[in-house]
A and B are shown apart, each in its own frame.
Chain A
Amino acid sequence: MSSVITGVEPIIEARKLEKFYPQPDGQRIQVIAPTDLAIYPGQIIALLGPSGCGKSTMLRMLTGLSPTSNGGVYWHGQPVAGETPNVSIVFQSFALFPWMTVIENVEAPLEARGVPEFERHKRALRIIDAVGLDGFESAYPKELSGGMKQRVGVARALVVEPEVLFMDEPFSALDVLTAETLRGELLELWLGNKIPTRAIFIVTHNIEEAVILADRIIVLGRNPAHIHAEFTVEMAHPREHKEPKFAELVDQIYRALTRPDHPEATPAELQELEAAKKKRVLMLPHTRPGGITGLLEILVDHGGRANLHALADELSLEVDALLPTVETLVLLGMLKLDEGVATITSDGEAFAKADIQERKKIFRAAVLAHVPLLRQMEQALKAKTNRTLPAEFFQDLLDEHFSAEESQRQLETAIQWGRYAELFDYDAASGKLTLTET
Chain B
Amino acid sequence: MEARPTGSRRAWGFLIDIAVFVSVFAVIFGLYSIGRSWLGPVKVEAEISQDPRSLPLYAMYSLVRILVAYALSLVFALAYGYIAAKSKRAEIVLIPLLDILQSIPVLSFLPGVMLAMVALFPSRQLGVELGSIILIFTGQVWNIAFSFYSSLKTIPRDLREAAIIYRFSRWQRFLELDLPFSTIGLVWNSMMSVAGGWFFLMACEMFVLGDKDFRLPGLGSYLQTAAGSGNTRALLWGVGAMVAVIVLMDQLIWRPVIMWADKFKFEQVESSGSAHYSLLNFIRRESFLIRMYRRMLHPVVDWLTLKFASGAKRAAETIAAQQVARSRRWIGWVFAGLGALVLVYGVYRTIGELAELHLADYFELLRSAGITFLRVNLSLLIGAAWTIPVGVAIGFSPRLARLMQPLVQLAASIPATALFPVILLVLIRLRGGVEIAAMLLMLLGTQWYILFNVIAGAMAIPTDLKEVAQIFRFDSFDRWRHLILPGIFPYLVTGMVTASGGAWNASIIAEYFHFQGRIVQAPGLGSTISSASDAGHFNVLLASTLIMATVVVLINRLVWRRLYRLASTRFKLEA
A142 to B158, CA, bound (A): 17
A76-84, A195-203, A228-236: which lies at the B interface?
Answer: A76-84
| Contact yes or no, A428 B319, CB < 8 A | no
Using an 8 Å CB-CB cutoff, how does the interface string of B131-171 with A read, 1 for contact, 0 for none? 00000000000000000000000001011011011111100
Q: A93 contacts the other chain (Cβ, under 8 Å)?
A: yes
| Contact yes or no, A91 B176, CB < 8 A | no
Q: A284 contacts the other chain (Cβ, under 8 Å)?
A: no
Contact among B156, B166, B172, B270 with A142 in the assembled complex (CB-CB below 8 Å):
B270
Using an 8 Å CB-CB cutoff, how does the interface string of A353-373 with B read, 1 for contact, 0 for none? 000000000000000000000
Which chain A positions have C-beta within 8 A of B90? none
- Given that A80-B319, A429-B570 are known contacts, is A89 also in contact with B165, CB under 8 Å in the complex? yes
- Given that A80-B318, A82-B317, A429-B569 are known contacts, is A112 also in contact with B161, CB under 8 Å in the complex? no
A183 to B437, CA, bound (A): 71
* Chain B residue with the shortest CB-CB distance to A60: B161
| Contact yes or no, B169 A112, CB < 8 A | yes
* Chain A residue with the shortest CB-CB distance to B169: A112
Contact among A78, A88, A140 with B166 in the assembled complex (CB-CB below 8 Å):
A88
A116 to B315, CA, bound (A): 18
A78 to B315, CA, bound (A): 13
| Contact yes or no, A142 B180, CB < 8 A | no
Q: A54 contacts the other chain (Cβ, under 8 Å)?
A: no
A97-105, A248-256, A259-267: which lies at the B interface?
Answer: A97-105
Which chain A positions have C-beta within 8 A of B306? 111, 114-116
A160 to B269, CA, bound (A): 27
> Quick one: which of B233-285 are within 8 Å of A by CB?
263-270
| Contact yes or no, B268 A113, CB < 8 A | no
Nearest-Cβ distance from residue A332 to partner chain B, whole angstroms:
29
Q: A95 contacts the other chain (Cβ, under 8 Å)?
A: yes
Q: A418 contacts the other chain (Cβ, under 8 Å)?
A: no
Q: A304 contacts the other chain (Cβ, under 8 Å)?
A: no
A63 to B316, CA, bound (A): 15
| Contact yes or no, A91 B318, CB < 8 A | no
A290 to B440, CA, bound (A): 56
> Quick one: which of A101-152 are within 8 Å of B by CB?
108-109, 111-117, 140-143, 149
| Contact yes or no, A78 B319, CB < 8 A | yes
| Contact yes or no, A117 B319, CB < 8 A | no
- Given that A93-B156, A97-B159, A111-B172 are known contacts, is A83 also in contact with B165, CB under 8 Å in the complex? yes
- Given that A95-B158, A98-B265 are known contacts, is A143 also in contact with B270, CB under 8 Å in the complex? yes
> Quick one: which of A38-85 are within 8 Å of B by CB?
60, 63-65, 75, 78-85
* Chain A residue with the shortest CB-CB distance to B321: A81
- Given that A93-B158, A142-B270, A428-B569 are known contacts, is A84 also in contact with B302, CB under 8 Å in the complex? no
* Chain A residue with the shortest CB-CB distance to B268: A142
Contact among A75, A88, A149 with B319 in the assembled complex (CB-CB below 8 Å):
A75
| Contact yes or no, A112 B164, CB < 8 A | no
Using an 8 Å CB-CB cutoff, how does the interface string of A136-178 with B read, 1 for contact, 0 for none? 0000111100000100000010001000000000000000000
| Contact yes or no, B162 A95, CB < 8 A | yes
| Contact yes or no, A81 B318, CB < 8 A | yes
Which chain A positions have C-beta within 8 A of B566? 429
* Chain B residue with the shortest CB-CB distance to A64: B318
| Contact yes or no, A112 B166, CB < 8 A | yes
Nearest-Cβ distance from residue A67 to partner chain B, whole angstroms:
11
Contact among A93, A99, A111, A428 with B305 in the assembled complex (CB-CB below 8 Å):
A111
Which chain B positions have C-beta within 8 A of A92? 158
Nearest-Cβ distance from residue A225 to partner chain B, whole angstroms:
19
Which chain A positions have C-beta within 8 A of B165? 63, 65, 83, 87-89
Which chain A positions have C-beta within 8 A of B423? none
| Contact yes or no, B321 A149, CB < 8 A | no
Which chain A positions have C-beta within 8 A of B354? none
A114 to B309, CA, bound (A): 5
A98 to B310, CA, bound (A): 24
Q: B311 contacts the other chain (Cβ, under 8 Å)?
A: yes
Q: B322 contacts the other chain (Cβ, under 8 Å)?
A: yes
Which chain B positions have C-beta within 8 A of A79? 319
The A-B contact count (CB < 8 A) is 111
Which chain A positions have C-beta within 8 A of B314? 82-83
| Contact yes or no, A428 B167, CB < 8 A | no
Q: B177 contacts the other chain (Cβ, under 8 Å)?
A: yes
Nearest-Cβ distance from residue B231 to partner chain A, whole angstroms:
51
Q: B312 contacts the other chain (Cβ, under 8 Å)?
A: yes
A112 to B312, CA, bound (A): 8
* Chain A residue with the shortest CB-CB distance to B313: A114
Q: A23 contacts the other chain (Cβ, under 8 Å)?
A: no
Q: A376 contacts the other chain (Cβ, under 8 Å)?
A: no
A65 to B309, CA, bound (A): 19
| Contact yes or no, B319 A112, CB < 8 A | no
Q: A86 contacts the other chain (Cβ, under 8 Å)?
A: yes
Contact among B158, B167, B177, B265 with A83 in the assembled complex (CB-CB below 8 Å):
B167
Nearest-Cβ distance from residue B485 to partner chain A, whole angstroms:
16
- Given that A65-B164, A112-B172 are known contacts, is A85 also in contact with B159, CB under 8 Å in the complex? no
Nearest-Cβ distance from residue A106 to partner chain B, whole angstroms:
11
Which chain B positions have C-beta within 8 A of A141? 268
| Contact yes or no, B569 A91, CB < 8 A | no
Contact among B263, B270, B318 with A84 in the assembled complex (CB-CB below 8 Å):
B318
Which chain A positions have C-beta within 8 A of B164? 65, 83
Using an 8 Å CB-CB cutoff, how does the interface string of B285-325 with A read, 1 for contact, 0 for none? 00000000000000000100110011110111111011000
| Contact yes or no, B312 A114, CB < 8 A | yes
Using an 8 Å CB-CB cutoff, how does the interface string of A238-253 with B read, 1 for contact, 0 for none? 0000000000000000
A109 to B176, CA, bound (A): 11
| Contact yes or no, B176 A97, CB < 8 A | yes
Residue of B158, B180, B310 most packed against chain A (CB within 10 A):
B158
A114 to B166, CA, bound (A): 12
A92 to B183, CA, bound (A): 25
* Chain B residue with the shortest CB-CB distance to A81: B322
Contact among A89, A98, A113 with B311 in the assembled complex (CB-CB below 8 Å):
A113
| Contact yes or no, A113 B180, CB < 8 A | no
* Chain A residue with the shortest CB-CB distance to B302: A117
- Given that A111-B172, A117-B302 are known contacts, is A95 also in contact with B161, CB under 8 Å in the complex? yes
Nearest-Cβ distance from residue A186 to partner chain B, whole angstroms:
19
A97 to B162, CA, bound (A): 9
| Contact yes or no, A112 B168, CB < 8 A | yes
Which chain A positions have C-beta within 8 A of B268? 94, 98, 141-142, 149
| Contact yes or no, B265 A111, CB < 8 A | no
Which chain A positions have C-beta within 8 A of B176? 97, 100, 108
* Chain A residue with the shortest CB-CB distance to B161: A65
Which chain B positions have C-beta within 8 A of A60? 161
| Contact yes or no, B318 A83, CB < 8 A | yes
- Given that A81-B321, A97-B176 are known contacts, is A113 also in contact with B267, CB under 8 Å in the complex? no
Which chain B positions have C-beta within 8 A of A97? 159, 162, 176-177, 180
Which chain B positions have C-beta within 8 A of A75? 319
| Contact yes or no, B166 A109, CB < 8 A | yes
| Contact yes or no, A98 B166, CB < 8 A | no
Which chain B positions have C-beta within 8 A of A82? 314, 317-318, 322
Nearest-Cβ distance from residue A108 to partner chain B, whole angstroms:
6
| Contact yes or no, B167 A109, CB < 8 A | yes
* Chain A residue with the shortest CB-CB distance to B324: A81
A363 to B381, CA, bound (A): 51
- Given that A82-B317, A82-B322 are known contacts, is A91 also in contact with B172, CB under 8 Å in the complex? no
- Given that A64-B318, A81-B321 are known contacts, is A95 also in contact with B159, CB under 8 Å in the complex? yes
Pairs A–B under 8 Å by Cβ, sample size 7:
A64-B318, A65-B161, A80-B318, A85-B316, A91-B161, A112-B166, A114-B310
Closest 6 pairs (CB-CB, A-B): A114-B309, A81-B322, A95-B158, A109-B166, A113-B311, A82-B318
Instruction: Mark A residues whose CB is within 8 Å of B.
Output: 60, 63-65, 75, 78-89, 91-95, 97-100, 108-109, 111-117, 140-143, 149, 156, 160, 428-429
Query: 17 new A-B pairs (CB below 8 Å) besides A80-B318, A83-B318, A98-B265?
Result: A82-B318, A85-B315, A85-B318, A89-B162, A91-B161, A91-B162, A95-B159, A99-B264, A100-B180, A111-B305, A114-B311, A116-B306, A117-B302, A140-B263, A142-B268, A142-B269, A156-B166
